[in-house]
Structure 1
């Protein structure tokens, strides 16, 4: 059976690393390239983080491309320290040796357009960070979305609950204009793993302990980068997620990747038009679901709501039983 072709756009934090490993571990997935964007860390750190993940999984042959370092409009928002200043828990002190030479010279946006154009209607694009690279891609090539097989996004919210602001999720609020452009102009089948979806389908901390204590290189790497990160500690102070949804282990970006790897694990979704709010002083960056068709938009997206926890858990387990042998 032909492999499913995937391009991953990432701001590689700890949960992005988990999602990338999930794609690498899936035998029917072929990752054509990884494009980097600012978000969890500066884009230079993101590039190095991706190289580290590919090295741990012995998949260094996958090309990595540096991309957008700031939002489409205005100055860069302050970066979150959710996963540490470097995105991987601040436990790795040394830079990747000669990392600049290991990054492709082609810009991430150009690479994204090229890889998809060479494999029209065959590529699934999985977006795990701010959507700046995707917005630039459709500006450079207005036909780019039509060339995609489908699009999977981790980001946005569906109930006005936010983790960065009272009403908005991190990836969207870091570049609301790009999120707006993507959800208006990407008419391909689009699947959104929102913040609430991820949190409502959380796993237990006991599962997390079992996950990172497997005897494999990727598991040891994940245990190391989560070891000093408060977001991966059940003893950490109560955060916004706990207030809204209760305690649990959530690997946010892995939910979008899991939907791409195995669509059958998504058991419920809402199909409706959506729009990103740009003007509100409190709600800027919030994704609005238009279930009553007041916006009169021409296309809808799938907003995921429930997943099969057993299937998702299995994909996570398999993702850390690496290195990759493809």
Structure 2
């Protein structure tokens, strides 16, 4: 059976790295390319992080494309340094002086359009960061979404609970206009793995510690990049009790990637029109779910609600048993 072509659009931080590794380990997935966008760190750091992940997994043949360095409109929003200033925990002192030569000359947005055009209605696009590259792609080629098989997004929310503002999630806050454009103009089948969805389906820290205690290169890499933020993450997860999520290990981007790799990971969903709020002082970037038809939209989005934890764990375990081709 032919492997399914996938493009990954990422702002490669630690959880993005885990998601990318999952895709590389999946036997029926063929990663056509990785497009980079600002978010967890600068787009230059993102490119270097992706190249580092591909090196660890011995998959240097996969092309990496540099994309948007800031949002569609306005100045870039200041970010926290939860994943370090470089997105991977600031644990690596060595930098590849030749990294720019390893990144493709073609811009990420052009690559998205080209790869979708060359593989009409076959490509699954997995978006793990701010949606700027995707918004620019549909503005350059309005037919771009129809060329995709489907779209999986990690971002947004479904209950108005935020992780960087009162009501909105990081990826959508970083470029709310692009999130709005994508969820309005992408008419392909679209799946949304929200922040609350990930939090409500957290895994245990015992599982995570066992996951990164292995000696395979990918496991050692994950153990290294999480070495400085692990204690903070565990404490932060415990504090989530006050918003009814409960403590646990949450690799946010892995949920969207898992849904792409194995549809059986998804055990529940809500299908309805959605809209991203742009105007509210406290709600900018929030996703509104329209369950009553008020928006009069013909296009619905699949908002994920339930997750098969065992299948997710299995994909994460497979991801650190690199290399695999």
TM class by shorter chain equals over 0.9
Give the 3-state SS of the residue equivalent to 1:192 in structure 2: strand
Per the alignment, residue 90 of structure 1 pairs with: 90
Counterpart in the other structure of 2:116 = 116
Gaps of 5+ in 1: none
> Who is 1:301 aligned against?
301
Number of aligned residue pairs: 324
Measure how far apart 1:239 and its partner are: 7.2
> What's 1:178 paired with?
178
Write out aligned runs for 1:1-326 (5 A): 1-230=1-230, 233-234=233-234, 236=235, 241-244=240-243, 245-324=245-324, 326=325
Q: Distance in 2 between matches of 1:29 and 1:56?
A: 18
RMSD of aligned Cα (Å): 1.2
CA distance in structure 2 between the aligned counterparts of 1:267 and 1:250, rounded to whole angstroms:
18
Shift in Å, 1:9 = 0.1
User: Does the CA contact (< 8 Å) of 1:71 and 1:175 recur in 2?
Assistant: yes
Per the normalisation by structure 2, the TM-score is: 0.98
CA 1:102/1:285 → structure 2, altered by over 3 Å: closer, same or farther? same
Deviation at 1:80, TM superposition (A): 2.5
- Unaligned regions of 5+ residues in structure 2, if any? none
SS in 2 for 1:59: coil
CA–CA separation in structure 2 for the residues paired with 1:79 and 1:231: 20
Q: Contact 2:191/2:304 (CA < 8 Å) preserved in 1?
A: yes
Tell me how far 1:233 sits from its aligned partner. 4.0
TM-score, reference length from structure 1: 0.97
Asked whether the 8 Å contact 1:12–1:87 carries over to 2, the reply is yes
Q: State the Cα distance separating 1:230 from its structure 2 match.
A: 4.6
- Contact kept? 1:47, 1:66, Cα under 8 Å: yes
- 2: distance between equivalents of 1:156 and 1:196? 9
- SS in structure 2 opposite 1:191? strand
Give the whole-Å Cα distance in 2 for the aligned partners of 1:101 and 1:237.
38
Inter-CA distance 55–238: structure 2 relative to 1 (3 Å threshold): closer
How far the C-alpha of 1:145 sits from its partner, in A, is 0.3
Counterpart CA distance in 2 for 1:240 and 1:253 is: 21
Tell me by how many angstroms 1:82 deviates: 2.0
Aligned 8 A contact 2:238 2:248 in 1: no
1:91-134 Cα offsets, whole Å, 9 max, x none, are 01121231000000000000010001000000000000000000
Task: Find the aligned partners of 1:153 and 1:240 in 2 and give their Cα distance.
Answer: 26
